[in-house]
Every structure is written in structure tokens, then in C-alpha cells.
Amino acid sequence: MAKKLDTRRQKLKNDFMQARGYWAPLWDQVLELSPDYFEAYTNLSSVPWRTGTLAPKVKEFVYIAIDAATTHLYNAGTRIHIANALRHGASRDEIMEVLMIASVLGIHTMTDSVPIMMEVLKDAGKDPKIHKAKPTPRQIAIKEEFRKNRGFFPDVFAPVLHFSPDFFQAYTDLSSAPWKLGALEPKVRELLYVAIDASTTHLYNAGTKTHMANAVRHGATAEEIMEVLMLTASIGVHTMTESVPILMEEYEKFVAAQKKAKAAAKAKPAPTARPAPARKAANGRAGMRA
């Protein structure tokens, strides 16, 4: 049974629900232990909900994307925000598309590491000089397919396509899936890429810049991009929602152990006093006269 809240904590809970439109049990202990922190977090996280221009379901899509991203995998938040998005009118296909968009994050292993490989090869005197290599008809077709599906082709993908057309074809198919499903508008897709790249669990600046540019090309405004960044910036609170329950569990175990130790000490019988040993005479014949 939930604890009865005092006047201040009840008001803070009401304020949060009014601003964010929901309540989850994971907030209970944070509110209980530090109403000051909870008030500050409510004020921070509520700004894009009070002043933003994105639809509520799109805001929830941002939370789903950053929580479900492989760099975070915060299942509690993913569940909460999927439920919220459905409540705000999202369809199953829209949410599936959000997850598909978030799932391609692993490609940044290639986009960050292949350029390093190119530098290493050049430093070792083994520069493959791919800029001079003539692309094969298949490589040209794959590049055009990617451009058709995604609307762009960044230079960072060129060496990936050069060294492994098979891999890049497979990645093209994977990353194009949400664009072929078509449940979300292009601007929203690009804003979700911005969110997962700009998240503090990833901070992939090259991708953030690319997808901001794409979002603007699809009609996104500065206010909308700023709103996505504000929503994404609140991810730090998961330190609290994951760790405060651990704090409470360990504190309760510590207090229980302390009480048990005190009770055991109190119940332990006092040691029985030993009788004083009998005095031995200095001489076994003491007191006897010749």
C-alpha cells in the first residue's frame, strides 16, 4: 500500500501529472526521499511540454527512441512511453517504426571506425586510395538505392561500400525498412535520429549534424529541433529511477541488520561471576607446631 503523502509531496505529484500526463511507481521513492530534487526535475522535464510545438505522441516517440536505443536499453522507460504514446493516439506501426529507427545505431561502429582504419593504412604506407577506384556497377546501384530510400548519401559510407558491398547492401535494406513502412513523416524520422545520436549515452556528433540538416530539409524548425534536444537531455534522471530503489533496499537491509544485532546483544545473558579461588597456605604445614 502506497504511503500517504504530506501536503507538499502530494502537490508535487499532482504538478508532475498535470505537466507530463502520467504517473509511474518508479517516481514514488524519488519523491519520498527528496521532494526538492523531484521538484527541480519536474520543472526541467516539463519545459518542452509547456512550451513545445511537437505533438504529444511525437514527444513520446523521442522518449521511446532514446530509452530503447542499444546504448541505453532502459526497458522501464520504454514501456512507460509506449503506453503514453498509445494513449496519445499513436498506432502500433508508428511505434514499430520508432523502434526500427533506433535499432540502426550499431552502424556507427562502421562510420566511426572505418575512417580510423583508413588512417592506419595510410600511416603504414598501405593507403588503398579508394577515391581513385572506379566503382562497380553493383556499388553504383547500391548507392543509388540508399539515396533513393534515405534521401542522402554521406561520404563516410563510401569506404564501407567500397570494402564490402554485401554489408552495405544489407545495411541499406535494414535502414530503409522504416522509410518503406511509411508510418511516420520524414521530418519526424529525422528528428528521432537526432535524438538517438545526441543522447548522452551516444553523443555521435557527426550523425547529429547530418540528421539535423536532413530534418531542416524536411521542414523542421529550430524550435522543433531544440524541443527534441530538451526532451533527450532529461535522460540523466534514470540514474535516480534505477538507483534509488537499490538505495532503499540496501538501507532497509542495513537497518534490519542493525536492529537484529542490537536485539541479539540485549538478549545475551550476562556472564556468571566465577568464585574466587581458595587461598593456598604458603607452607603446607602452616599452623602446625613441632
pLDDT at 279 over 70: no
Sequence-separated (6 or more) residues with CB below 8 Å from residue 183: 91, 93, 94, 96, 97
pLDDT digits (tens, 9 = 90+) for 3-24: 799 999 999 999 999 999 999 9
Structural domain boundaries of the chain? 52-242
Q: Categorize the per-residue pLDDT at 288 as very low, low, confident or very high, splitting at 50, 70 and 90.
A: very low
Task: Measure Cα distances from 86 to 60, 81, 90, 116, 141 in Å.
Answer: 9, 8, 5, 42, 39
pLDDT at 1 over 70: no
The pLDDT mean for the chain works out to 93
pLDDT at 280 over 90: no
Q: What is the b/e burial string over 42-56, where b = at least 16 CB atoms within 10 angstroms of the residue's CB? A: beebbebbeebebeb
Task: Please tell me the pTM assigned to this model.
Answer: 0.88
Which grid coordinates belong to 95?
Answer: 511505434
pLDDT digits (tens, 9 = 90+) for 156-215: 999 999 999 999 999 999 999 999 999 999 999 999 999 999 999 999 999 999 999 999
Quote the pLDDT of residue 37: 98
Return d(Cα 79, Cα 26) in angstroms, integer.
12
pLDDT digits (tens, 9 = 90+) for 27-76: 999 999 999 999 999 999 999 999 989 999 999 999 999 999 999 999 99
Quote the pLDDT of residue 104: 96
Q: How much of the chain, in percent, has pLDDT values that exceed 90?
A: 88
Q: What kind of architecture, by CATH, is found in domain 52-242?
A: Up-down Bundle (1.20)
> What average pLDDT does this structure show over 109-128?
96
pLDDT at 270 over 70: no
Quote the pLDDT of residue 3: 78
Quote the pLDDT of residue 52: 86
